[in-house]
Amino acid sequence: MSAQEERVAAADRLADLLSRVTATAEHPSGLVTVTASAAGALRSVRLHPAALGHGPDAVGGLVAETARLATDAAVQTGYNELAKTLGDSMAMAVEDFAGPPPLHRQADPAEAWGATASDRPAHLRDTSRQPGAGDPRTAPGRPGHGQPAHRRDERDPGQPPGSRDASGSGQASGTGPPAPAAPPWSSGRPRGPRPARPRPAAPVEDDDDDFFADPFRGQRR
Amino acid sequence: MDETTRAARRVAELGARVSGHVAGTGPVLGRASSSDGAVTVVTAPGAAPAEIRVSAAALAMGADALGAEIVRVAERAARDAAARMHRSLARLVDPATARALAEIGFPADAPGGESEDDFGTTYLRGPR
């Protein structure tokens, strides 16, 4: 089979695959779990009985918020499958007119932790939301999850995940608008802007001592 | 200019036309509600529900039944949104693109007919 035929066959499989992609997200409060497709179609909504005690308005808000998380996770999974099947260059071309994947739009990485792809192992669901836990989507042995293959190497290791917003719309710590009033289900889980992680200072390039010690250093680079 | 670039350019041009249309008419939204008004869902085409309203009486259904009802109403709202988007865009695109809209999940009419929906039957709420 030629390379062209392989690519056509891969594209055929991709269409079928993308139509079946779903993801499951659990609200940070644990009160709602939603499974949704990349088109936002809800496949299942599981409500914890305690959720009903928050009142009808809160229940509706919980489900809508969790549905967005699940949809974003499904879209992200679709992007990952796209990159794996068609290659990074084609995936980037799709991004050009379809917009950046959800992971690049999210300013708060905690929001990314709330969404889990349906094929994600169950043991990663709890650990992914613990503060300080490693990023399971970029962990070794998990290619194509969370971070698209064509973006996997762009992240600055000194920055938290999600801070490299391709559109520049990410909320910078302390410079964004004030956080809205916390909904009743978020008690005990502050989600305001996080303090910026200190970054190592850039090396000083105009050190006179270094220059006179080795005046031809720059020419050898 | 390769085929991908040409496709991206066509998509961008169509996107600009659609954006101009939507700017004048407002966003396309689909709505559906339970026959007893327990759950109402508002959603945009191809997106997660934008708003889910639950009545106080619906809480008596219990968690499992309420979750299933939300799924059912959300599915109808999504079909309504898809049909509205098709009708709204059909006047902006060529017939082949309109057929493609149906093929990718935005048919002209919601299949099965919607009788319980208490929204969207007036001209003022329809796409223009």
Distance (Å) from the alpha carbon of A14 to chain B's nearest alpha carbon: 14
Sign, CA torsion B55/B58/B60/B62: negative
A43 versus B3: the higher-pLDDT residue is: A43
How far, in Å, CA of B106 to CA of B30, rounded? 12
How far, in Å, CA of A142 to CA of A82, rounded? 16
Count Cβ atoms within 10 A of the Cβ of residue A32 and give its class: 0-12 exposed, 13-18 middle, 19 or more buried.
buried
pLDDT value at position A88?
Answer: 79
Which phi and psi angles does A14 have, rounded to 5°? -65, -45
Q: For B61-78, what is the mean pLDDT? A: 95
The whole-chain average pLDDT of chain A stands at 64
What residues does A107 pair with on adjacent strands? none
pLDDT value at position A107?
Answer: 47
How many residues are present in chain A? 221
A201 versus B20: the higher-pLDDT residue is: B20
pLDDT value at position A26?
Answer: 96
Beta strand spans in chain A (E): 22-26, 32-37, 42-47, 115-117
Tokens describing residue A46:
């599981």
Of all residues in chain A, the one with the smallest CA distance to B51 is A64
Number of other residues whose CB lies within 10 A of the CB of residue B34: 20
Listed ranges A37-51, A84-98, B92-106; the one with the highest mean pLDDT:
A37-51
B63 interfaces chain A, CB cutoff of 8 Å: yes
A183 versus A103: the higher-pLDDT residue is: A103
- Ramachandran quadrant class, B24 (left: phi over 0; alpha: psi -120 to 50; beta: rest): alpha
Q: What is the CA radius of gyration of chain A?
A: 21
Instruction: With a cut of 50, say whether residue A136 has pLDDT above it.
Output: no
pLDDT value at position A126?
Answer: 35
SS3 label, residue A1: coil
Q: For B39-50, what is the mean pLDDT? A: 94
Q: Alpha-carbon dihedral of residues A139, A141, A147, A148, nearest 10 degrees?
A: 160
Greatest Cα-to-Cα distance within chain A, rounded to the nearest angstrom: 73
Across the interface, whether the CB atoms of A39 and B46 are under 8 A apart is answered: yes
The pLDDT-based confidence of A152 (bands split at 50, 70, 90) is very low
- Half-sphere exposure of A154 toward its Cβ, with a 13 Å CA cutoff? 12
A42 versus A217: the higher-pLDDT residue is: A42
ipTM: 0.73
Tokens describing residue A95:
């991004």
Of A39, A64, A71, which has the smallest distance from its Cβ to B52's Cβ?
A: A64
Q: For B51-60, what is the mean pLDDT? A: 95
B-interface mutation test, from A4, A26, A46, A47, most B Cβ less than 10 A away: A47
Sign, CA torsion B45/B51/B52/B54: negative
Q: What is each CA distance from B124 to A25, B26, B91, B107, in whole angstroms? A: 36, 12, 18, 22
What are the chain B neighbours of A86 within 8 Å (beta carbons)? none
What are the chain A neighbours of B73 within 8 Å (beta carbons)? none
Cβ atoms of A28 and A61 closer than 8 Å: no
The pLDDT-based confidence of A55 (bands split at 50, 70, 90) is very high
B2 interfaces chain A, CB cutoff of 8 Å: no
Instruction: With a cut of 60, say whether residue A24 has pLDDT above it.
Output: yes
Across the interface, whether the CB atoms of A63 and B52 are under 8 A apart is answered: yes
pLDDT value at position A112?
Answer: 41
Window from A110-114, A216-220, B11-15 with minimum mean pLDDT: A110-114
Across the interface, whether the CB atoms of B71 and A52 are under 8 A apart is answered: no
